[in-house]
Amino acid sequence: MRMPLTLFAVSALLFVFGLGFVVVGAGEARRAPATAAAPAVPSVKPIATTKQIMQAIVTPTSTAIFQSVQTSVTVKGTEEIFPRTDEEWERLGAQAAALGDAGNLLMAEGRALDQGDWIKMSRAMIDSAQLTLKAVANKNPEEVLAAGEIVNMSCDNCHERYTRQ
């Protein structure tokens, strides 16, 4: 009878110690740095001013979007202007993508004028650029025109709140 009792005691002790190792190992795993961690991202130091971003990126890209779909009425007749070739659509898509990334640049530390309206309006510009990208992907001039109106609204709202400098 002693053998089953001894065997039970040894099994119970091994079980308890095994649980202890699992608990201690889990705690250590939380504290240990991940071995396959991604390399640290270097801190980004802004170079351009907000005004330079507006002049170099926002103005030309938004203008390209606004001018990409138009109706021109002249003595010669009515002309519908919109991207027609894959290259023209790609160029418009690049303009929209650059406009969206400009919104990210405007939210960078040191550039954001505040954490309220400035951030909301920068995000609105990003959202309008993404709508333009979707319209470009669909190669739909009417969608580009509608997205351009939203781009324009995001610009106007921001300029109304923050005077141009």
Number of residues that this document lists for the chain = 165
Q: DSSP for 52-97, please give it.
A: HHIIIIIHHHHHHHHHHSEEEEETTEEEEE---SHHHHHHHHHHHH
Is the CB of residue 104 less than 8 Å from the CB of residue 28? Answer: no
Residue 55 CA to residue 77 CA, distance in Å, equals 35
Residues 31-88: tens digit of each pLDDT: 655 555 666 667 778 889 999 999 999 999 999 999 999 998 988 899 999 999 999 9
Is the CB of residue 158 less than 8 Å from the CB of residue 102? Answer: no
Instruction: Report domain 50-161's class.
Output: mainly alpha
- Could you state, in order of their start, the residue ranges of all structural domains in the chain? 1-30, 50-161
Name the pTM for this structure. Answer: 0.71
CB atoms within 10 A of CB 141: 17
